[in-house]
C-alpha cells in the first residue's frame, strides 16, 4: 500500500469500517518506517471519529451496571498492591473500613459475600485495603470512639450506594484527602491525615454549586480526631447541589472574607 492509498483509507480505518484484509494492510502500512503524512492523517481522522460519540444524548445506565462493575473490580483490586498505589490517605479510608469491620458483628464479611452485588462498592474498598486497614485499625478505632463524625463517616460508608472521591492537591499542596459521599449526594465527609488545624491555621470546607461562575459556599471547618482530620460538608448546603468540593487554608476561625483564601484541595463530583 502506498502512502496515497493509505490516506484514502485513513477515515474508514479510524471508523473501523474497513474489511479485515484492508484493515490489516492499512495497519501494516502504518508500521512502516517512512511516510508522507500517514500517521498524521490517521491521528486526525481518529480524533474526528472519537468526537462523533458526542453526537448522541447520554443514556443513564441502570444501577445494576455499576454494581456489576464494582463486583468485578473488587476481585482485581484485592490483588493490587494497595500500599504502593494509595499511600497514607488511602489508609485513612482503609482504617475507617477497618473500624466498620471491627465495629460490626463478626459476620459482616460473610454478609458482604452473600450480598456482593448489593454492597459491591463497600466490598471493593474492603478488599483493596485490608492490609493497611490492619495497620491503621488501632489508630482509627480511637477516632471512631471519640468522634461522632467518624461514626457518621462509618455509617456513610456502610450506606448502600455510597462512594469515595479523591481530592486533588492544588497549588503544590503536599497532601491529599478523600471524601465519603452518600448515595443521594446530600452528605459528604472528608478524611485526611494532613489537614489537622494548627494554632494559627484552620482548614475550611467549601461547596462549589453547579453552574458557571457560581460562588463557592462555606460549608464548615475541618476538625481533628484520633489523628485523623475529618470534615462534614454542611448537609443543608450540599442538598442544594454541588459540582465540586474544596478545602482552603484559612486564618484561625475561617475565611475572613467569605471567599476561599487559599484553595488546597478540590474534588469534582460527577464531572
CB of 228 to another protein, least distance (A): 17
CA-angle at 5, arms to 3 and 11, nearest 5°: 100
Phi, psi of 13 (to 5 degrees): -65, -40
Q: Which residue number, 51 or 200, has a Cβ lying nearer to another protein?
A: 51
CA atoms of 172 and 121, how far apart (whole Å): 31
Q: What is the DSSP string of 87-151?
A: HHHHHHHHHHHHHHHHHS-TTHHHHHHHTTTTTHHHHHHHHHSHHHHHHHHHHHHHHHHH-HHHH
CB of 114 to another protein, least distance (A): 20
List, in order, residues 6 or more apart from 29 with CB less than 8 Å away. 1, 3, 5, 6, 38
- 91 and 41 Cβ atoms separated by less than 8 Å: no
Q: Which residue number, 52 or 115, has a Cβ lying nearer to another protein?
A: 52
CB of 145 to another protein, least distance (A): 26
Of 127, 126, 187, give the one whose Cα is nearest residue 162: 187
CB of 58 to another protein, least distance (A): 3
CB of 76 to another protein, least distance (A): 7
Q: Which residue number, 83 or 142, has a Cβ lying nearer to another protein?
A: 83
Q: Which residue number, 116 or 142, has a Cβ lying nearer to another protein?
A: 116
Q: Which residue number, 76 or 201, has a Cβ lying nearer to another protein?
A: 76
Amino acid at each position: 500500500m502506498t502512502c496515497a492509498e493509505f490516506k484514502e483509507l485513513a477515515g474508514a480505518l479510524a471508523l473501523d469500517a474497513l474489511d479485515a484484509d484492508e484493515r490489516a494492510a492499512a495497519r501494516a502500512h502504518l508500521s512502516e518506517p517512512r511516510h508522507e503524512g500517514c500517521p498524521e492523517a490517521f491521528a486526525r481522522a481518529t480524533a474526528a471519529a472519537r468526537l462523533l460519540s458526542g453526537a448522541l444524548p447520554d443514556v443513564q445506565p441502570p444501577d445494576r451496571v455499576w454494581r456489576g462493575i464494582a463486583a468485578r473490580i473488587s476481585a482485581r483490586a484485592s490483588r493490587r498492591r494497595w500500599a504502593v498505589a494509595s499511600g497514607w490517605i488511602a489508609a485513612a479510608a482503609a482504617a475507617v473500613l477497618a473500624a466498620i469491620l471491627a465495629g460490626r458483628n463478626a459476620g459482616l464479611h460473610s454478609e458482604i459475600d452473600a450480598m456482593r452485588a448489593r454492597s459491591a462498592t463497600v466490598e471493593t474498598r474492603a478488599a483493596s485495603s485490608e492490609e493497611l486497614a490492619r495497620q491503621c485499625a488501632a489508630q482509627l478505632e480511637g477516632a471512631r470512639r471519640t468522634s461522632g463524625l467518624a461514626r457518621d463517616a462509618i455509617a456513610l460508608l456502610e450506606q448502600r450506594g455510597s462512594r469515595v472521591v479523591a481530592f486533588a492537591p492544588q497549588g503544590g499542596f503536599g497532601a491529599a484527602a478523600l471524601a465519603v459521599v452518600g448515595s443521594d449526594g446530600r452528605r459528604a465527609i472528608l478524611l485526611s491525615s494532613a489537614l489537622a488545624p494548627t494554632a494559627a491555621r484552620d482548614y475550611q470546607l467549601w461547596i462549589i454549586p453547579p453552574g458557571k461562575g457560581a460562588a463557592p459556599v462555606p460549608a464548615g471547618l475541618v476538625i481533628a480526631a484520633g489523628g485523623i482530620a475529618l470534615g462534614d460538608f454542611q448537609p443543608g448546603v450540599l442538598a442544594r447541589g454541588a459540582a465540586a468540593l474544596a478545602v482552603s487554608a484559612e486564618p484561625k476561625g475561617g475565611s475572613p472574607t467569605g471567599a476561599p483564601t487559599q484553595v488546597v484541595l478540590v474534588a469534582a463530583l460527577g464531572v
